[in-house]
Structure 1
C-alpha cells in the first residue's frame, strides 16, 4: 500500500468534575468524507501506548478517519499515569459516559478534521477492556455505531477475583501493580459498586448477542486463559458474528511499550480488521 501524507490534529474538551478527554484525529489529505474508526484503549492503557499510534496510522492509510483518545479517568494527563487519583475514580459508567460524549461530538462535527469524517459510518475498535466497552457502547447506541471490532476483548466486565473484590469493598480501596512502571494503581469500592448497580447494562455477552451491526472478534490463542475462554463465550453468545483466532499471538499481539515496531501478529490483526471494516464500510 502506497503511503500517503497523514494529517494529525489534537483535541481536548472538558467534562464535569475536573475531567478532560484528550485525543487525536488522523486522516489522509484527500478531500471527501470517509468512515470513522474510534480506537478504544483498555485497562492500564492509553492512546499513545505501544501499537495504538501505529494502528491508527495504518487504519488512516486504509481510508478511514481515526480517532484515538484517553478515557478521562485512565490516569494519564500529560505523561504516563501522572493522575492515579483519577484512575482510582474510574468506572464503566465513567468510560461509557466518555464514549457517549465522543460520539456526540463526532456526530455534531465538533472534532478536528470533521470535514473528512462521515459520521453516519462509525466503527468502534477496542483492545482488551476497550473491546468490552466497545460492545457495550454499540448496544447502548444502536443508531450511532455501524460496526465493532474487539481485539483480545473481555467477555466479563469484572476483571478481578472475588478475594480482591471483597478486600476493596471492605477497605474502600485496593491496588494492582503496573508491571511496566511498578506503580501501585488504585481500585476503589466505587468500581465494584458501579458494576453491581449496572449488572444488566454491563453484561458484555448480552451486549454482543443484542447487536445487529457486524462484529468481528480477534483473539490471540496465547493470551491469558481467561480471555481465550472468554472469546469462546463471545462466540457462543453471538454465533452469527465473525470470530477469529491468531495462532501464537499474545495479549498485545507481540507489541511492547515503548513501541519497538510491528510484529507479524499485529500486522495480521490489522489486516483482518481493515478487510472487515472495508467490507462493511
Structure 2
C-alpha cells in the first residue's frame, strides 16, 4: 500500500512481510520502509494485534522521523498462524527473536524494540535472554505476573484449573473466547519479571512509560521496574489509561524522543 505524501515528506511504503517462526508458524507483519538502515520493532499486547491503534500511531510517529518500523502479530494473534495461547511468554520471545534475526539477516540494524502491555513484558524478557538490542521501551508492562489473573479467570481459578485442567474464558454472549490450560497458566506464573530484569545488560537503555490512571496494570508495576533495571528512565503519563485512549500523541512523542536521543548519543559516542 503506497501512501500519497506531499513533496517534502519521505515516501513511506508499507510492505507485508511474512517471517517463519522457530515453531514453523508464519508471522505476518507490516514494514514501514523509510530507507533507513535502522529499524524499530513494535510488539502488541495480550489478545491484541499489529493494527491496534497504539501500534499504528507509534509506527507513524517513528516513520515521520525517517526511521523504518516493523509491527507484527505474534503467533495465534491477528493474521499470524497458530492458535491463540494464554501465557506463552517464552514462545512469544522466540517469535520476537525470529523477527529480529530476519532483519539482521537483511543487514538491517534493529535499534529498538517497543512493546505495549504484554508486549512490554516481551521486550524485557527478550533482552534478559538475548543481548543484541540496546534500546528497550516497555509501555505499561506488568511487573507482577501473579496479578491480573483473577480479574480474567475468577477468584477460584486455581481450584477450577486443578479440577478440570482448563478454564474457558467466555464473552458476553457466552461464546468461548479462549481456553486457559493448566500448563499455560503455570507458564505465566513461573515467568519472573524481577529475575528477568536483573539479567538485562547494564549497557541496555530502558524506558518504561505508564499511565497514572491505568485501570488494568497498576502504576506500582512501573515503579518496581524503575527500582531494578539499571539503565532505566521512567515516564508517567498523567491521566492516561492502559490504552492511552486520550494520550496517543503524548505517548508517541515520549517514545520517539527517547529512541532518537539514544541513537544520537550513540552516533556521537567515540
Q: How many residues align?
A: 249
| Preserved contact between residue 92 and residue 194 of structure 1 (Cα < 8 Å) | yes
| Preserved contact between residue 22 and residue 98 of structure 2 (Cα < 8 Å) | no
Change (3 A) 1:225 1:45: closer
Task: Give TM-score scaled by structure 2 length.
Answer: 0.82
Task: Supply the distance in 1 between the matched residues of 2:244 and 2:103 (Cα, whole angstroms).
Answer: 29
Change (3 A) 1:223 1:173: same
- Picking from 215, 230, 246, the partner of 1:224 is 215
Q: Does 1:60 align with 2:70?
A: no
Task: Report the equivalent of 1:249.
Answer: 240
| Preserved contact between residue 90 and residue 191 of structure 1 (Cα < 8 Å) | yes
1:86-97 matches, within 5 Å, as 86-88=83-85, 91-97=88-94
Task: Report the equivalent of 2:142.
Answer: 154
Structure 2 unaligned segments of length 5 or more: list them: 1-7, 264-270
Deviation, 1:280, is 1.1
Deviations 1:6-44 (Å, cap 9, x if unpaired)? Answer: 11111113346662211011122x5x52x2211001101
Query: Aligned-pair RMSD on alpha carbons?
Result: 2.7
- Secondary structure of the 1:45 match is coil
- Picking from 235, 245, 257, the partner of 1:275 is 257
Q: Does 1:233 align with 2:224?
A: yes
Structure 1 unaligned segments of length 5 or more: list them: 255-262
Task: Supply the distance in 2 between the matched residues of 1:131 and 1:179 (Cα, whole angstroms).
Answer: 28
| Preserved contact between residue 89 and residue 191 of structure 1 (Cα < 8 Å) | yes
Task: Give TM-score scaled by structure 1 length.
Answer: 0.79
1:1-281 matches, within 5 Å, as 3-15=9-21, 19-28=25-34, 30=35, 32-33=36-37, 35-74=38-77, 76-77=78-79, 86-88=83-85, 91-109=88-106, 117=108, 119=109, 121-142=110-131, 144-158=132-146, 159-161=148-150, 163-177=156-170, 184-195=177-188, 199=190, 202-211=191-200, 212=202, 213-224=204-215, 226-238=217-229, 240-254=231-245, 263=246, 265-281=247-263
| Preserved contact between residue 42 and residue 71 of structure 2 (Cα < 8 Å) | yes
